[in-house]
């Protein structure tokens, strides 16, 4: 079995940091991640700089990284303006993002779920690169509480309908349990082919590795993680870091094809810059 890990540290890991991290550091972080063996690295976001000031330098980061042939360098895109910026930067793959909860979607992208899907239809029609669709608050919402698997299935279906090639299911605030993960995976099975499904766990309650283990047991092979377990969403109170890439390497070993020492070296580049006010 091969486990495909999408490294999201430069985006999810850094987006919640209050003090602006120098672009040089971000470029060095991505370049170090390029030496680890990842098939895909999520480099930044082409969102409104008013909403996520930390990632306002996405264009510059893309211009200055050294791209390793064979690695996909992706970024978040919320709307047509973001797509234009991403295309200009030569992004290899984009990710649109919505959620299973109306309140979170309003707080995160200032839209209803239905409006977000219509925005994505327009973005995907114009996109010339593959598109991932994130589906946040798939288990618990910081505003609405537990989320029914049916709601997740409905949004996943709409993401596929508008042309997403991959759907990443987010435990945004890290509250899911392995049983809940299995329930959602089972509910999604008739709708999302397993090779087009990714799981995106945050580790707030220390269950992210167990959750990944359970998802792998039901056939999921793609997982998002961040070097050093850094991260969190600024619009999800209580969200902590992503599951750490090193923890997934420890759990899944050689199946990940990643160099653990190289991931440690990459994490060490950015660690001193985290937590500044
Ligand atoms: P809005 O305020 O409704 O939109 O925001 P707007 O069109 O009125 O734009 C506001 C201003 O931003 C305008 O500037 C626009 O030009 C500008 P002004 O006229 O005031 O000077 N603007 C942009 N600038 C650059 N690039 C753009 C762009 N769009 C607008 N793309 C919007 C709507 C979607 C833009 C906003 O809500 C937004 O950017 N949200 C992003 C929030 C975000 O990045 N959250 C974190 C990522 S999601 C996450 O972390 C979860 C995930 O990890 C999975 C999981 O864990 O569950 C993926
Ligand atoms: Mg996340």
Using DSSP's 3-state secondary structure scheme, residue 267 falls into helix
Asked if the model's pLDDT at residue 238 lies above 90, the reply is no
Question: Of 33-47, 190-204, 228-242, which gets the smallest average pLDDT?
Answer: 228-242
Number of independent structural domains in the chain:
1
Dihedral sign, Cα of residue 119, residue 122, residue 127, residue 131: positive
pLDDT in tens, 154-165: 999 999 999 999
Q: What percent of the chain has pLDDT over 90?
A: 95
| pLDDT for res 233 | 79
Question: How far apart are the C-alpha atoms of 252 and 260, rounded to whole Å?
Answer: 12
This model's pTM is above 0.95: yes
Minimum-distance ligand 1 atom for the alpha carbon of 137: 57
Average pLDDT on 57-68 reads 98
Average pLDDT on 55-82 reads 98
Q: Which of 9, 16, 48 to mutate to test the pocket of ligand 1 (most atoms within 8 A of CB)?
A: 48
Q: For residue 141, indicate whether it is catalytic.
A: no
CATH code assigned at 194: 3.20.20.70
Q: What percent of the chain has pLDDT over 70?
A: 100
Asked if the model's pLDDT at residue 209 lies above 80, the reply is yes
Identify the nearest ligand to the CA of 45 by its number. 1
Q: Whole domain around residue 205: which residue ranges?
A: 4-273
Q: Which residue has the tokens 């890290």?
A: 174
Residue nearest to atom 21 of ligand 1 (CA): 50
Question: How far apart are the C-alpha atoms of 143 and 237, rounded to whole Å?
Answer: 9
Q: Which of 194, 202, 212, 196 is nearest to 249 (CA)?
A: 212
Residue nearest to atom 58 of ligand 1 (CA): 134
Asked if the model's pLDDT at residue 277 lies above 60, the reply is no
Residue nearest to atom 9 of ligand 1 (CA): 48
Question: How far apart are the C-alpha atoms of 57 and 22, rounded to whole Å?
Answer: 9
Question: How far apart are the C-alpha atoms of 45 and 162, rounded to whole Å?
Answer: 21
Rounded to 5 degrees, what angle do the CA atoms 67, 71, 222 make?
Answer: 150
pLDDT in tens, 108-150: 999 999 999 999 999 999 999 999 999 999 999 999 999 999 9
Q: Which of 92, 5, 20 is nearest to 53 (CA)?
A: 20
Question: Of 87-101, 225-239, 249-263, which gets the smallest average pLDDT?
Answer: 225-239
pLDDT band at residue 231, thresholds of 50, 70 and 90?
confident
Q: Which of 65, 124, 69 is nearest to 98 (CA)?
A: 124
């Amino acid at each position: 079995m091969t486990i495909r890990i999408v490294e999201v540290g430069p985006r999810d890991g850094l987006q919640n940091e209050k003090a602006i991290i120098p672009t040089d550091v971000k470029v060095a972080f991505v370049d170090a991640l390029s030496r680890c063996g990842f098939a895909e690295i999520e480099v930044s976001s082409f969102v409104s700089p008013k909403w996520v000031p930390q990632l306002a330098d996405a264009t510059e980061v893309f211009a200055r990284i050294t791209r390793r042939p064979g690695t996909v360098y992706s970024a978040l895109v919320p709307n047509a303006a973001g797509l234009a910026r991403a295309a200009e930067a030569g992004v290899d793959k984009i990710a649109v993002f919505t959620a299973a909860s109306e309140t979170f979607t309003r707080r995160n992208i200032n839209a209803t779920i239905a409006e977000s899907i219509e925005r994505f239809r327009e973005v995907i029609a114009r996109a010339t690169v593959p598109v991932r669709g994130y589906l946040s608050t798939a288990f618990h919402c910081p505003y609405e509480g537990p989320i029914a698997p049916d709601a997740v299935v409905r949004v996943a279906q709409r993401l596929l309908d508008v042309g997403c090639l991959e759907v990443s299911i987010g435990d945004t605030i890290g509250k899911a349990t392995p049983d809940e993960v299995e329930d959602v995976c089972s509910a999604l099975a008739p709708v999302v082919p397993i090779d087009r499904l990714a799981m995106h766990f945050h580790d707030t309650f220390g269950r992210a590795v167990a959750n990944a283990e359970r998802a792998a047991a039901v056939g999921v092979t793609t997982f998002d993680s961040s070097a050093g377990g850094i991260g969190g969403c600024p619009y999800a109170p209580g969200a902590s870091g992503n599951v750490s890439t090193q923890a997934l390497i420890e759990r899944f070993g050689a199946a990940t094809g990643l160099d653990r020492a190289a991931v440690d070296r990459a994490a060490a580049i950015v660690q001193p810059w985290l937590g500044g006010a």
